[in-house]
Structure 1
């Protein structure tokens, strides 16, 4: 795959294109200083990023939009050079709430359209002012959802020109099939954003998506948070994994670059989140500076379990 700083996009099934490397823009609003997202997105555009992943529930879309508009105004990019992905949050699944949610994102961004709009989760919360509705026992208040009805409302948004492409996030095969086989389907999902990295390679889902021309977008491409309730803490943190460290030494690259290139080379879009200027620059170098053709097969052995480092290092001839 020949990738360059100016050409690192792959086609979507609706005729549009998505850059293989994007910048995740989530930052905890309680701890992230105001203006951080704006400055980092501006820097990222100067570095060469053209894909930005955001969401209404990140509470910083106004900063991301401001950064994009400023870089358009100074002539660095045109609007058509930028790929922005927004997300439909759980409290907006009822069909009558879908377009208002998208319009809220567009108002925050001060843009006329988003390039990709995705259903963030295949479950719904109780609609209302609270994004995270909780009952008296501290439990989330869920709401019945008809994914097909929600999708039809999204299709209407695409027909109205508010969004170029439609996708989903965190959908499994059954949920994807529900949409793909929906009677009267007008616009199929072009992407599925899921957790994907060398510890969680998603081979079955990736193959199913490929069969249906659905691009997989991998979030947490540098590894999950170390939450003991759902991560095997017997495995080392991804960026400290012996195999990745050794591969990085062999190619004079960081473990982060190895992990990102692993997905990029499989055609998986990656959206590493960082508000660190040096890491933003460092991560972007993965797109066009090296290829792992001779060892990419090794990663087929990596799963969510504790991996056999010795076996893998032997296969990689490291």
Structure 2
């Protein structure tokens, strides 16, 4: 998925920023995506730019698209990151410059590693289901892997943890409570979809070296004593060994975590780099048709890159 902001601010993030346990609610910002989709942008935000290597989080829906085209995101480039597509309802058709053509359905992992360069499009297919609801997330690649060869993975069978107290968890990426996703990772992290049945009162084991955040997807959930409405992000910091979870009437959320990302990065538009010059070169390569390849089969023109900001793009640490 693309950041379609025509004036994207440079996000200067990374750097050692460990915290103890906190409970910091981050409200989302409404952002138009493509021709007909509005998303809630949870990360980056004014209070926090990264959670582990997770550097971008959009939550969308549930939207009634029965008589609408649904998601229509034209071909656009990526560099230095992985995209994670996750659905609760609906379908998204992925095309990329490697020739991949894959329909991603609810509770299936669509994972694209951009590495040095890739381009892709995303759209609701013809005859799509009436509702669209999900999240799109990015993972920043660490320095030793950021120029790796691009790749796309689709995993329909993901491990599910079922324990007491009404909690079940699908491990989307990384490892949680002894279960490991088949998706490729390049830094210590976790992404999981948690389902809380009505009356859930559970404690989920977590890694004290990871920082965590929880994104409320549906229903009303309570995480470590904090009630969350759908579309809100709760930053939890580091230092926990377990996470208390409750829900009176059933709900779902995504748990994101990882070792705090200690590298300084620059994130602008759809690129993650280390210097402003690297970002500028990636933009020029996209505009001239070099490096990022072609996406075949999408009915429409590819996206033009926004203009670079008038100030130099410089990497900084994650502390404000």
Same fold (TM over 0.5): no
Please, what TM-score do these two structures have when normalized by structure 2?
0.28
Q: Which structure shows the bigger proportion of residues in strand conformation?
A: 2
Q: Which has the higher contact order (CA 8 A, sep 6+)?
A: 2
Higher-Rg member (1/2): 1
Q: Which structure shows the bigger proportion of residues in helix conformation?
A: 1
